[in-house]
Amino acid sequence: MTEELASKNKLAVRHYEDRPVGCPPGSDPAAMTKEEKEAHHDTVERLKELVEKAAKGDKNPLPEIRKILKESPELSWQLMDVGRVAEWRYTEMMLKEEDFGKKEVLKAQLATMREEIAGDNPSPLERLLVERIVLTWLQIQLFEDLYASSMPKSMTIAQGNYKQKMIDQAHRRYLSAIRTLAQIRKLGPAVQINIAEQQINTAG
């Protein structure tokens, strides 16, 4: 591959900010001193320890967990990103448990999709919709795979209709997210969202 072609390919995939919507930026590791990095690491490890204790039904760690998250709210996203849980579950269902290579390939594909759909400097609303588009796309692939793998076997009409209904519903959600993203981009910074027959003016 020539340097010119490599440069074009690099520019073709635009940066998609990895920080989830709602997650504060937090401290820049590059600007932190050695002592600050060590303190940060200790805080993260302590938070993990407390969360593990609380996961076993112990409420005693909760006050300290709240204190840490109040001082460093970005740490909550380091421990758990709920928005990616469904994506992880779909990936686990699509691929074999030990198929780590293909899981990494799929993860890279989804990341590239996010970058391409998001474009340059996406707003928080755009980023939320990009996540929805990618997730519903993955859902469609899973449902299509489940339907296709069932075809060689004996399926009742009801079973076939049920699987097809799952595909159709996922496809409608997918198209809905795409349309909404297109509408937001068309309207520009000032976006009107209809929620329960009420109009709320928001900044993009």
So where are the chain's domains?
A: 29-73, 82-191
Instruction: Please give the pLDDT value at position 6.
Output: 45
Number of alpha helices (DSSP H) and beta strands (DSSP E) in the chain: 8, 2
Instruction: Please give the pLDDT value at position 191.
Output: 53
Query: Which amino acid type is present at position 151?
Result: M
CA angle 82, 87, 88 (to 5 degrees): 85
Instruction: Please give the pLDDT value at position 153.
Output: 80
Total-model pTM: 0.73
- Structural contact between residues 184 and 129, judged by C-beta atoms closer than 8 angstroms: yes
- How far separated are the first and last CA of the chain, in Å rounded? 39
Q: pLDDT (tens digit, 9 = 90+) per residue, 63-122?
A: 999 999 999 898 888 888 887 888 989 999 988 888 899 999 999 999 999 999 998 888
Write out residues in the chain with pLDDT < 50, as ranges: 1-2, 5-14, 195-204
Instruction: Please give the pLDDT value at position 176.
Output: 96
